[in-house]
Amino acid sequence: MVNYKHIVWDWNGTLLDDTWLCLDIMNKQRVRIGKLPLTLLEYRRTFDFPVKNFYEQIGFDFAQESYESVAQNFITEYTKRRFECDLHFGVAALLAKYRDYGFSQSILSAYAQDVLKEMTNHFGIDQFFSHIVGLDNHYASGKLEEGKQLMQQLDIPANQIVLIGDTTHDHEVAQSLGIDCLLVSQGHQDPSKLQKREVPVVPTLSETMLYTFDR
């Protein structure tokens, strides 16, 4: 029987619809090093954490240029264009519905903390979260340690918390934290990649409600 009290949301790809922007910026970098652009399908089937490994998998040679340099180029362009993105359809209404049903909610992201807070404020959804947790840098190395700190701050039994994300890394983080996971397949990873994990995978955010109430 599911009896969740708290939802930990991932940000990029889960609440924020930014896959298209990341692909566009990544492809400009690939063209710069003489590689063909990735299709959306190729990107979603390949994308993974840590991001440095993903870059290497799609052809970046960090013996020729540093990962930090490539990552900084990406970050600079993404930051410049970040407000071209919007939330996925129905996000604000969904967060309000969860709040009205008595759920508390937080964000746990591999995105930089300062920009994360700026963007949730921009979209007017910061009011829904008891905690907004990101990294203290821009290199998207993962978010496990931040997740452990969040769990201590929440002080809620692990079996009453579910993490909702769009990547296998979200599942790995949830496993390490000892909490359940629900994956949404409209973000950065293809359903075929997500479905290899033994957790529910839904195509849209609205369908998360099928798994987060007592049943």
Model confidence band, residue 215 (pLDDT cutoffs 50, 70, 90): very low
pLDDT in tens, 156-212: 999 999 999 999 999 999 999 999 999 999 999 999 999 999 899 999 999 999 888
Q: Give the separation between CA 110 and CA 135, rounded to whole angstroms.
A: 6
**CB of 16 within 8 A of CB of 87?**
yes
Q: Is the pLDDT of residue 139 over 60?
A: no
Q: Please report how the helices 144-154 and 168-177 are oriented relative to each other, as an axis angle in degrees rounded to 10.
A: 50
Give ∠ CA 14-33-20 in degrees, rounded to 5.
20
pLDDT in tens, 37-87: 999 999 999 999 888 999 999 999 999 999 999 999 999 999 999 999 999
Coil, strand or helix at 67:
helix
Give the pLDDT mean for 31-40.
95
pTM of the model: 0.93
pLDDT of residue 4: 94
Give the pLDDT mean for 127-138.
85
